[in-house]
Structure 1
Amino acid sequence: MGKITGFMDYKRGSLDYRDPKERVKDWKEIALLPSEEKLKEQASRCMDCAVPFCQNGSEIAGMTTGCPVYNLIPEWNDLVYKGDWKRAYERLHRTNPFPEFTGRACPAPCEAGCIASLVEDSVTIKNIERAIIDRAFDEGWVQPRIPTQRTGKKVAVIGSGPAGLASASELNQFGHSVTVFERSDRIGGLLTYGIPKMKIEQHVVDRRVKLLKAEGIEFRTNMEVGKQITVQQLLSEYDAVILCIGSTRPRDLKIPGRELQGIHFAMDYLHANTKSLLDSNLQDGNFISTEGKNVIVIGGGDTATDCISTAVRQNCKSLIQFDIYAKRPFSRDIDNPWPQYPIIHKVDSGQEEATTMFGRDPRAYSTSALEFIGDDNGRVVAVKSSEIHSYKNEKGEKIRESIPGTETVWNADVVLLAIGFEGPEQQLLNQLGIATNHRTNIAVSKGDYATNQPGVFSAGDARRGQSLIVWAIQEGKEAALECHDYIMNK
């Protein structure tokens, strides 16, 4: 490495964010990259650790640590430190087809595996990754890679989220003719309609899609397989199919009062807001408004945080977030050692914004909803909750019990359910005769991407369940390779 003692000489520098009071007034990206001098300084903290855990994605204790796309992190950190940004981009793009997405929306499990965190804090890998790709676009280094030969084979990719785009990109580079089918009106899947624009502005997604089109990939929007095009047409016209349809069935909360109006699934709320924003800058009114309303978000993950950020920008009256977990410690517990992903207290951008606007962290910890309370018109007006006690029984199963006497009633005009997903939608799978597993995800052999139907493959959340954007990209790449081998050996 260029500076062996960098991790001792410099402290970790966090990503700069726009002032919460200002950024909640618009939908522009909230993150600001440090200066080049600061980025080079941070890159110098990447130590000569011999075995870099950061670049090898694995799951430890049910959590991801290290980079699932196998980014050559120490190499491009060293190149950034030396000021060789173009070579850093070349090393980054060798493993990651879409670093502008992961550099913005990935939770950075690479940093969890950074060995520097054993001494001080991890290297700011995610910031440097974004800085490299943003500079590469600015300098014109990112150009279409147009295949010089075509195989004459045709592949259909169903879904244009990160897994679908990764599959399409890889298959196109092999020389196959790739068509991506997307049922929405815009390409991007989760990147477009699942992640709010203050995290990934739409021009970032559109810029990459434009490149993929220039490389020869065909995109067909407003095309739902099984409706606008039949399954029989699909299987007869294409040599292979890859299903990248995501895990889009939201988990419900079946408690008394669930039928009341004003209770929405998080993705319905986020999708409608983003579509209206992109269509008309919210002038068409085709979204779920929380303006002047008491909002309760149920759930503790990234989707819940996105709901908080969106509701704050819609000028909600109040905001509470139910988190079923207790407040995490500020440093690792003894049973959460490195290199596991650190389970520690964090304040995400949404919580920071809510705190700024309402004077308190919106989270109610160890809290579970018991009942939705409605008025005479059938609309939700409150949520009854209780604190919960969590423990493991003798079988190691997690048990959650309500604590008597801790019941609380919260005012609520809008309730947003962000408690996860239960797998892919089943209609298309049934039409194709695709087998599913006990979790209703698409069934494949371990480490495999081929379904029970010859020539049909699967990747991303539809195969592995709700997961990270970086896993979706890697699965898309691996599924494409397996699909390519099938086509060429057929």
Structure 2
Amino acid sequence: MGKPTGFMEYQREAAHVRPPTERVKDWSEAHPPYAEETLRTQAARCMDCGVPFCHTGVLIGGMASGCPVNNLIPEWNDLVFRGQWREALIRLHKTNNFPEFTGRVCPAPCEGSCTVGLDGDPVTIKNIEVSIIDRAFEEGWVRAEPPQARTGKRVAVVGSGPAGLACAAQLNRAGHMVTVFERADRIGGLLMYGIPNMKLDKGVVERRVRLMADEGVRFITGTEVGKSFAASRLLSDFDAAVLCGGATQARDLQVDGRGLLGIHLAMEFLAANTKSLLDSRHADGAYISAKGKHVIVIGGGDTGTDCVGTSLRHGAASVTQLEIMPRPPDKRAPGNPWPQWPKVYKMDYGQEEAAALFGADPRQYLVNTRRFAGDEAGRVKAIEVFDVEWAKDEKGRFVPKEKPGTARTLPADLVLLALGFVGPEKGGMLAELGVKLDERGNVWTDAEKMTSVPGVFSAGDMSRGQSLVVWAINEGRKAARGVDKYLMYGETVLP
């Protein structure tokens, strides 16, 4: 490495963020850029590891350890330290089609397995990654690169989320003619309507889509395969197809009062907000407003955090986030050693903003919901909850059990269910194609990502289950290799 002792000489400088009370007033991204000298100093903290765990991309304990797309992190850290930004971009694009996405929204499992983090703070890998690609766009280094020759093979990609876009980009690079179908009115899937603008500016997504279109990828919006476009045409009109529709079937909460007005799935809330923001800066009123309301967010993951941040920007009267799991420890527990993902307490942007506005972290841990209560107009007005403790049942499984005497009622004018997803939507396209599902209800695929229907592949959350954007990119790239081998008689030019 360029600075072998850098990790001992320099301290980690965390991501620069605008003050919470300032950023809740708008929908812009919260992270001002670093100075170049600061980035080079931070890159110098990367160790000359014998084994760089940061780019291993394996599952340990069911969670990612290291980068799932196997980014060449030590290499581009060294190049940034030396000021060789264009060379750093080349290394970055070797493994990741969309570092401008992952550098913004990935939880950075690479940093959780950074060797410097064994006895100190890990390298700021995520911030360096996004700085490389943002500088590359500013300098004009990222340009359309259409393939030099075409194979004459046609491939349909259904879904334009991170898996679909990554798959399409790779297949186009191999020379195939790629058509991407998206049922929404804009390309991007989860990247466009699932992640709020202050976390991933939609101009960043649209910039990459334009680049792909310039390279020859065809995008068709407002078209749902299995409804407005017959799924059988994937087999008749194309030489291969890749299903990347995501795990969009949300987990619901069926308790008494669920049918009251004002109770919504998180994605209904987030998607409508972003669409209205992009269409009219919210002037059309075509979104679910949290202004002046007591908001309850049920679910403690990233989607729940996005609901908190969005509600605050609407001007919510209060926001409470309920989590059935216990509060994580401040430091790694003995059963959570490096290089596993650190399961420790942290405040994401939404919780930081709520704490700045209301004085405390909005999360309440070890809480379950008993029922919703409404007014005479059928609108939700309160939620009855109780505390739980996790204990083993008669079969030895840990389950939440009610703690006596803890029942209480919280005011609730808007309830957002951010409980995760249970798999792809059944029926429609999947039923028409007749693809096999696995035991979890996801689309079954073989090692090459082909489904039970020859020539039909699947990638991302639709086959993997709910996961990270970076895993979706990995899956899309893997499916593209499988498709290329299928079309090119067992050979592939794709990495």
CA distance in 2, matches of 1:366, 1:32: 35
Partner of 1:443: 444
Report the equivalent of 2:43. Answer: 43
* Structure 2 length-normalised TM: 0.97
Tell me how far apart the structure 1 counterparts of residues 111 and 433 of structure 2 sit (CA, whole Å): 40
DSSP 3-state at the match of 1:17: coil
Q: Is the 8 A contact 2:273 2:288 kept in 1?
A: yes
Q: Runs of 5+ in structure 1 lacking a partner?
A: none
Shift of 1:394: 7.8
* 8 Å CA contact retained: 1:33, 1:127: no
Residue 160 of structure 1 is matched in structure 2 by 160
Residue 189 of structure 1: CA displacement?
Answer: 0.4
> What stretches of structure 1 move > 2 A for 4+ residues in a row?
391-398
Residue 373 (1) aligns with residue 373 (2): yes
SS in 1 for 2:399: strand
Q: Distance in 2 between matches of 1:32 and 1:49?
A: 30
C-alpha deviation, 1:128, in angstroms: 0.2
**1:191 matched to 2:191:** yes
Native 8 Å contact 2:448 2:481 kept in 1 = no
What is the DSSP-based 3-state SS (H/G/I as helix, E as strand, rest coil) of the residue aligned with 1:169? helix
Q: Is the CA contact 2:336–2:343 (under 8 Å) kept in the aligned structure 1? A: yes
Alignment map for 1:343-422 (pairs within 5 Å): 343-392=343-392, 397-422=397-422
**What letter matches 2:67 in structure 1?**
C
Matched-pair contact (CA < 8 Å) for 2:232–2:432: no
RMSD across aligned positions (CA): 1.1
Measured in 2, the distance between the counterparts of 1:18 and 1:420 equals 29
Alignment partner of 1:203 is 2:198? no
Matches of 2:277 and 2:391, distance apart in 1: 43
The separation in 2 between residues aligned to 1:395 and 1:227, in whole angstroms, is 44
In structure 1, what is the Cα distance between the partners aligned to 2:393 and 2:111? 33
TM-superposed deviation, 1:426: 1.1
| CA 1:145–1:392: 2 relative to 1, 3 Å | farther
Tell me the equivalent position of 1:480. 480
What is the Cα deviation at residue 232 of structure 1? 2.3
The answer to whether the 8 A contact 1:368-1:388 is kept is yes
Contact 2:328 2:343 in 1 (8 A): yes
Partner of 1:433: 434
Task: Please give the alpha-carbon distance, in whole angstroms, between the structure 2 residues aligned to 1:95 and 1:430.
Answer: 34
Conserved in 2, the CA contact under 8 Å of 1:68 and 1:474? yes
- Residues 202-351 of structure 1 aligned to structure 2 (within 5 Å): 202-351=202-351
CA contact 2:163–2:475 (8 Å) conserved in 1: yes
> Do the aligned partners of 2:382 and 2:411 also contact (CA within 8 Å) in 1?
yes
Q: Which one is further off, 181-190 or 25-34?
A: 25-34
Structure 1 match to 2:67? 67
Distance across 2 between alignment mates of 1:438 and 1:387: 32
Alignment partner, residue 121 of structure 2: 121
* One-letter amino acid matched to 1:157: V
Q: C-alpha separation between the residues in 2 aligned to 1:126 and 1:395?
A: 42
Structure 1 counterpart SS, 2:400: strand
Corresponding residue of 2:493: none
Counterparts in 2 of 1:394 and 1:82: CA distance versus 1, 3 Å: farther
Which piece of structure 1 moves more, 34-43 or 162-171?
34-43
SS state of the match for residue 264, structure 2?
Answer: strand
Q: Is 2:435–2:451's contact at 8 Å kept on the other side of the alignment?
A: yes
Aligned mates of 2:94, 2:396 — CA distance in 1:
42
2:57 and 2:418 mapped to 1: Cα distance?
26
Match of 1:77 in 2: 77
**What is the deviation of 1:226?**
1.7
Contact 1:179/1:219 (<8 A) preserved: yes
How far apart are the structure 1 equivalents of 2:238 and 2:9? Answer: 57
2:60 corresponds to 1:56? no
Whole-Å Cα distance in 2 between the matches of residues 177 and 185 of structure 1?
22
SS in 2 for 1:422: strand
**Helix, strand or coil: the match of 1:31?**
coil
